Structure 1
Amino acid sequence: MTVRIAAIMLILFFQNFSASAMQETESSPIDSNSLRAAFVNGKTEAHFRYFFMATDNQKGLTDYYANAVGGGLKYQTGKFHGFQAGVGGFFIFNIGSSDLHQPDALTKQVNRYEIGLFDIENASNKNDIDRLEELYLKYNFKKASISLGKQLIHTPFINLQDGRMRPTGVEGLWLNATSKKTKWEGGVLWGMSPRSTVRWFNIGTSIGVYPQGIQENGQAANYREHVHSKIIGVLGLTHTFEEGLRWQLWEQWTENVFNTVLLQVDKNWGSSSFYSGVQGIIQHALNDGGNVDPSKTYIQKGSKAFSFGATTGWKNKNTDISFNYNRITSSGRYMMPREWGRDPFYTFLPRERNEGFGDVHAGLVKFKQSFPKQHLQTWIGFGYYHLPDVTNTRLNKYGMPSYTQFNVDIQYHFVGVLEGMNAQFLYVYKGQEGNSYGNNKYVIHKVNTSLFNLILNYQF
């Protein structure tokens, strides 16, 4: 509750300051270079969100549902000699859900999806779910900006992953700089507030907030609150050429844990509507991977991973169809804390990931169709994901069998009286392809399951 009150008070303070300044302008002009002008020219944003989610598991296993509703405010000042300040917070209520902290009676597995709408650290909390998620000072110069504090960023490895009520936030120093063809992004991060949490963590303790899976030797992983890492260094470079060619290079250095490099090249073929792209990711552990004790480390000492993928497709103004492939080699598990963001692979589909696995072959067909006159957009995706056997603990961190996945995503944008509202329906089915050896802990929430999502957003 303290966080919610603090966020609201800060936002209201800025709003009242701005309102009083605007009233004064009626009688006397305000110097455009003054601090007061920065508040007058500030911008307030509001966001209300409703989320219904339900999981229909294989017969004999527990099904779940949840209803969440929440709202948030953000205020950002205008520029004052290049400086801006911003503050934003969000609150959530559980307005009717299954008993999300009660494990399945047969497998003893806990809920995986619905609990993520709330606070995964306290599933019984229904009323006091709030977070101060943005509080920053920004300096703008030429075509660049540098921000200090709590903020929201998007990179291949650390991103919003906004598939629940609120996204992942970071705390640190972040730079954005652009020229005509080149964009630089990067900075140093020392705090993280993962999606589905309300607390802020340091880098090491943010790893392991989500389920930890198993170690390579088959024992339960035990790295939560045992990973020693204080900062993340990120650098990204994107350059666009005249010929429709764009390449991007990213490096993410996580102190004492691992280093990951991504190179991606995408090409639009001349005046045609065809496009293609290739991607490669190289990763290796640093020092002891987070802890000198192998039973408490995040990534085993000396570990390496390599992933590569490709995409090709055709699109016009309203249609987009693509064929995608990704391979994670058998050299080791591709590791990236799920608390930080979703997979950057071409074959990613919402509600499942291939992080934590090695020796993966993944193929995906995606189709998008827009209907502008009806204010409607649809996405359909079908993927096949060949994973190592669930007994291969060296390359299968989460005991996930090979699977197929089918997604249907429909979005409608309201106009007229309800302009600003967006409705989304997402249906996901994951079918079993690999052997589960009659053990339903490899099935529940993973395969032979349907997911239903209905989301309403209203922003102004």
Structure 2
Amino acid sequence: MKKFLTIIYIIITSLFSINTKAQHQEVSEKPTVWKEKDDEKIDSTSILNAFKNGNFSGHFRYFFMNTNNEKGLTDYYANALGGGVKFETAKFHNFQFGVSGYYIFNIGSSDFTKKDSITNASNRYEIALFDIQNPSKKDNLSRLEELYLKYNYKNSTITLGKQLLNTSFINLQDGRMRPTEVDGIWIDFNELEKTKINVGYLYGISPRSTMQYFSVGESIGIYSTGVNPDGTKSDYAGNLKSNGIIIVGIQNESIQNLKTLLWDQYVENIFNTALFQMDYKYPLNSNSKLLFGFQTIYQNALNFGGNQNQSKTYFEKNGSSQTFGGRLGWQNKTLELTLNYNRITAKGRYLMPREWGRDPFYTFMPRERNEGFGDVHAVTTKLQYTNPKKTFKSNLAVGYFDLPDVKNAALNKYGLPSYLQTNLDFRYEFQGFLKGFDAQVLYVHKFNVGETYGNKNYIFNKTNMSTVNFILNFNF
């Protein structure tokens, strides 16, 4: 398989032109991990011609990550290199077939099997570039990513099989080597003016930083599980049963400058989550706009939350949670400045499997999440600059996250103290003979501002730490 993919790389590089877009993906955007060509092929006259007229695309990535913890605690670094290809046929009676795969190599990193000598805790960030289930494995990390059959109807599609999705709760996530993928059926309906409707049934998940697909219940608990509300260690990994996830999403822009979003995610036998969001842009003049946003999320347990034994369940029986947040900002052609707020009420923990995607909150900042917490106040300010040619983008973000006490297990699942976080992010798309390459540098620092009771387990890989990421991509 390895030799076969190597040959494919060489052939593709010789035959196909280079095409690139921005690497960063918002959860509201259609996935563009592979940077596929946008032009549609005409319906082919035979299956053979559909394959011969199909499109190849490829992605190579180098990723360097280095985490520096508080003095006396273990630091880590990683160098990852990967590459893969995707093929999608031309249309045949409106049907298309797609398949993609990827390889990752550890080309020089810390020993991820070695735990910190003071806390006895494992590496958190760098291992996620590879396979978190096999921390000692360094090469031949292969992954079947997509394998689907797609039917096209006018502006809409129905896709069956392994595929990429971006929703508020299940999404690509914020960047390691490869994204989260799903297995199921997904309908993207675009036949109503200024309205987009999505309906899906998902029965498999391949979380970021893993090499295989899992059933819905099995996929919850591959990452850190934290503690139960009573303070005992969570034991839901491998103990959850679910027949799948039903998702319905509606996005409407029929009112000028206003986008309304509604999502409902029903995880059979475990929990249900509903999101409502409104974003309004008020034009000040031809060059600038004011930004207003509002979001609320409500969750509730289904049955026993995944397991009748409450020490092995994911969502506490009869449990629920609620969040709400807002955004105020200003935007012109090159700058965007926002002030963001999010509140998770003390009603209960906001829970969403970290294996599935990142937080949908306005206050989200890469390299940390507020999933697993209740009674949270989060405030962030973000400044983004994009040059007129849209080849360079810089982001500065500062956030304060007021969390419950680390010993309040009922509302603090992962023992994370309150913290202040700063992010500095630079992205550049090369042009000319380097067209197809893009680079990113991300620096994150997290300052502890909460009580830790002298316990370094509340510090290690959580606060009083920094991480530096350098990413180089080549897409064709």
Instruction: Name the CA distance, whole Å, in 1 between partners of 2:267 and 2:3.
Output: 34
How far residue 11 of structure 1 moved from its aligned partner, in angstroms, is 7.6
Instruction: Name the CA distance, whole Å, in 1 between partners of 2:284 and 2:179.
Output: 37
Counterpart of 2:98 in 1: which secondary structure?
strand
Matched residue type, 1:455 = I
Matched residue type, 2:161 = G
CA offsets 1:312-359 (integer angstroms, 9 cap, x no match) = 111111110000000000000000000000000000000000000000
Confirm or deny: 8 A CA contact 2:43 2:93 kept in the other structure.
no
Counterpart selection for 1:205 from 218, 230, 246: 218
Name the counterpart of 2:415.
399
How far residue 376 of structure 1 moved from its aligned partner, in angstroms, is 1.7
Instruction: Name the CA distance, whole Å, in 1 between partners of 2:88 and 2:53.
Output: 9
TM-score, structure 1 length as denominator? 0.93
How far residue 373 of structure 1 moved from its aligned partner, in angstroms, is 5.3
Confirm or deny: 8 A CA contact 1:10 1:87 kept in the other structure.
no
Counterpart of 1:96 in 2: which secondary structure?
coil
Counterpart selection for 2:133 from 121, 133, 141: 121
TM-score, structure 2 length as denominator? 0.90
Within 5 Å, give how 1:267-286 maps onto structure 2.
267-270=280-283, 272=285, 273-286=289-302
Counterpart of 1:115 in 2: which secondary structure?
helix
Instruction: Name the CA distance, whole Å, in 2 between partners of 1:53 and 1:222.
Output: 30
CA offsets 1:69-100 (integer angstroms, 9 cap, x no match) = 00010000011110000000000000000011
Name the counterpart of 2:113.
101
Instruction: Name the CA distance, whole Å, in 1 between partners of 2:349 and 2:441.
Output: 33
Counterpart of 2:108 in 1: which secondary structure?
strand
Instruction: Name the CA distance, whole Å, in 2 between partners of 1:196 and 1:231.
Output: 21
Name the counterpart of 2:240.
227
Counterpart of 2:333 in 1: which secondary structure?
coil
CA 1:203/1:128 → structure 2, altered by over 3 Å: closer, same or farther?
same
Within 5 Å, give how 1:262-411 maps onto structure 2.
262-270=275-283, 272=285, 273-372=289-388, 375-411=391-427
Instruction: Name the CA distance, whole Å, in 2 between partners of 1:168 and 1:145.
Output: 21
Confirm or deny: 8 A CA contact 2:244 2:268 kept in the other structure.
yes
Name the counterpart of 1:252.
265
Counterpart selection for 1:442 from 458, 462, 471: 458
Confirm or deny: 8 A CA contact 1:162 1:168 kept in the other structure.
no
Unaligned stretches of 5+ residues in structure 2: 17-41
Counterpart selection for 1:69 from 81, 84, 89: 81
Instruction: Name the CA distance, whole Å, in 2 between partners of 1:174 and 1:420.
Output: 30
CA 1:329/1:93 → structure 2, altered by over 3 Å: closer, same or farther?
same
How far residue 420 of structure 1 moved from its aligned partner, in angstroms, is 0.6
Instruction: Name the CA distance, whole Å, in 2 between partners of 1:332 and 1:180.
Output: 39
Name the counterpart of 1:414.
430
Matched residue type, 1:403 = Y
Name the counterpart of 1:88.
100
Confirm or deny: 8 A CA contact 2:130 2:210 kept in the other structure.
yes
Instruction: Name the CA distance, whole Å, in 2 between partners of 1:394 and 1:126.
Output: 38
Instruction: Name the CA distance, whole Å, in 2 between partners of 1:373 and 1:267.
Output: 26
Instruction: Name the CA distance, whole Å, in 1 between partners of 2:48 and 2:193.
Output: 33
How far residue 128 of structure 1 moved from its aligned partner, in angstroms, is 1.7
Confirm or deny: 8 A CA contact 1:31 1:37 kept in the other structure.
no
Moved more, 373-382 or 356-365: 373-382
CA 1:11/1:230 → structure 2, altered by over 3 Å: closer, same or farther?
farther
Confirm or deny: 8 A CA contact 1:11 1:88 kept in the other structure.
no
Confirm or deny: 8 A CA contact 2:425 2:442 kept in the other structure.
yes
Counterpart selection for 2:254 from 228, 236, 241: 241
Name the counterpart of 1:22.
none
Name the counterpart of 1:173.
185
Instruction: Name the CA distance, whole Å, in 2 between partners of 1:31 and 1:194.
Output: 34
Instruction: Name the CA distance, whole Å, in 1 between partners of 2:136 and 2:113.
Output: 7
Name the counterpart of 2:23.
none
Instruction: Name the CA distance, whole Å, in 1 between partners of 2:168 and 2:154.
Output: 26
Query: RMSD of aligned C-alpha atoms?
Result: 2.0
Confirm or deny: 8 A CA contact 1:11 1:75 kept in the other structure.
no
Counterpart of 1:389 in 2: which secondary structure?
coil
CA offsets 1:412-459 (integer angstroms, 9 cap, x no match) = 111111101001000000000110000000001100000000000000
CA offsets 1:265-321 (integer angstroms, 9 cap, x no match) = 111114541111100000000000000111111111011000000001111111100
CA 1:33/1:429 → structure 2, altered by over 3 Å: closer, same or farther?
same
Instruction: Name the CA distance, whole Å, in 1 between partners of 2:331 and 2:300.
Output: 36
CA 1:32/1:427 → structure 2, altered by over 3 Å: closer, same or farther?
same
Q: Percent identity?
A: 52
Within 5 Å, give how 1:423-442 maps onto structure 2.
423-442=439-458
Counterpart of 1:330 in 2: which secondary structure?
coil
Counterpart of 1:39 in 2: which secondary structure?
helix
Confirm or deny: 8 A CA contact 1:249 1:262 kept in the other structure.
yes
Confirm or deny: 8 A CA contact 1:73 1:90 kept in the other structure.
yes
Name the counterpart of 1:145.
157
Unaligned stretches of 5+ residues in structure 1: 20-29
Within 5 Å, give how 1:158-169 maps onto structure 2.
158-169=170-181
Name the counterpart of 2:209.
196
How far residue 36 of structure 1 moved from its aligned partner, in angstroms, is 2.8
Confirm or deny: 8 A CA contact 1:11 1:74 kept in the other structure.
no
Instruction: Name the CA distance, whole Å, in 2 between partners of 1:274 and 1:294.
Output: 47
CA 1:97/1:122 → structure 2, altered by over 3 Å: closer, same or farther?
same
Confirm or deny: 8 A CA contact 1:72 1:91 kept in the other structure.
yes
Confirm or deny: 8 A CA contact 2:67 2:465 kept in the other structure.
yes
Matched residue type, 1:150 = K
Matched residue type, 1:289 = G
Name the counterpart of 1:132.
144
Counterpart of 2:328 in 1: which secondary structure?
strand
CA 1:255/1:323 → structure 2, altered by over 3 Å: closer, same or farther?
same
